[in-house]
Structure 1
């Protein structure tokens, strides 16, 4: 008699987790965060709601992990396309600070305009302002790694004499990331590569006549 192999619980759990991530991302785009529920995620994913509560305390926590996973998948795809493992939080150093910042800002604009990222990102940003626990995780896991890559690139530019030594990198990066985030969140104007370029130029060179 042939013996049946025992079910692989890890593989089953990973399939369930992946289905939950996909369901959360799809639903927040379809119905919005306000109408997103654990029950709806469980139904779409084909799992019991207790399975979700066993892993996450809230719908916000599910969505945050799903969004982080989406970013990891995009990074892996970019690494595969490049034929090498790209550092996830590193701005390329071409020696030209302006060009490097514009490159990353344009990529950020492209993500903001991508419907796959827009809805969950907006939901997490808004909920993070109301839910302090989720907000702290949002900053630590999603925002801070991106901010740190700007800090490191500015520090490299300081060492090369391209940025004044007394400039605080954390304040400096807000000159271009802050306006971009505000325009995206409040929809006060179009998100274009030209806009990203101008933010970098104004931040580096000011607005007084040269």
Structure 2
């Protein structure tokens, strides 16, 4: 897995091959195929092992918690040990539904679940409208990071993330006239 990460960083995903990974690791390509069906599977395992758990703060201030966590996420994505591999796998997942599922199941879903829990807490505390689906709120907040990273090929800085959170929360805040209903399933 380390060989796959290192080689991908050096030659890029397009030029990454099972043969190259095997040579870098000092094993035969059959050894690689015994454990992984494709270069993307090796790279995903390497990425999963490289990504540390991005803790989600739980203070009384949802805006501060979101800003802290989103800056941490942007920093992780900017890391040369994570960013290029993550972008390559996201790109490849557009053509490979099995990889898309694996990327979601093994990496992204855990991070989204932590964000959903924080949004639900904010809804219970009256900081975010209770009628909104927490998944929608997560997509609204984190979508700009992915847009800037994958489309504009640059990550938002802390100032930009602060603006994203402040702008989004202004629209997500409960109004005095809003009903206090539970979020939709």
TM-score bracket relative to the smaller structure: 0.7 to 0.9
| CA–CA separation in structure 2 for the residues paired with 1:107 and 1:196 | 11
State the match for 1:47 in structure 2. 27
| CA–CA separation in structure 2 for the residues paired with 1:51 and 1:190 | 37
Backbone CA RMSD of aligned residues: 1.6
Q: Deviations over 1:65-120 (max 9, x none)?
A: 0100111xxx3xxxxxxxxxxxx465221110000000001101111221111111
Which structure has more helix as a fraction of its residues? 1
State the match for 1:57 in structure 2. 37
Is the Cα–Cα contact under 8 Å of residues 89 and 145 in structure 1 kept in the other structure? Answer: no
Q: Deviations over 1:131-166 (max 9, x none)?
A: 111111111111111111110001111111222221
Asked if 1:147 corresponds to 2:112, the answer is yes
Gaps of 5+ in 1: 1-20, 76-87
| CA–CA separation in structure 2 for the residues paired with 1:110 and 1:157 | 24
Q: Which runs of 4+ in 1 moved over 3 A?
A: none
Listed as ranges, the matches of 1:197-208 within 5 Å are 197-206=162-171
State the match for 2:143 in structure 1. 178
| CA–CA separation in structure 1 for the residues paired with 2:40 and 2:153 | 26
Listed as ranges, the matches of 1:13-162 within 5 Å are 21-71=1-51, 75=52, 88=53, 90-162=55-127
TM-score (norm 1): 0.78
| CA–CA separation in structure 2 for the residues paired with 1:168 and 1:140 | 20
TM-score (norm 2): 0.88
State the match for 1:83 in structure 2. none
- 1:191, distance to aligned residue in structure 2 (A): 2.4
- Pair 110,189 (structure 1): closer, same or farther in 2 beyond 3 Å: closer
Instruction: Indicate the structure (1 or 2) with the bigger Cα radius of gyration.
Output: 1
- Pair 124,188 (structure 1): closer, same or farther in 2 beyond 3 Å: closer
Aligned length: 172
Q: Deviations over 1:44-65 (max 9, x none)?
A: 0001111111101010000000
- 1:180, distance to aligned residue in structure 2 (A): 0.9
Gaps of 5+ in 2: 172-185
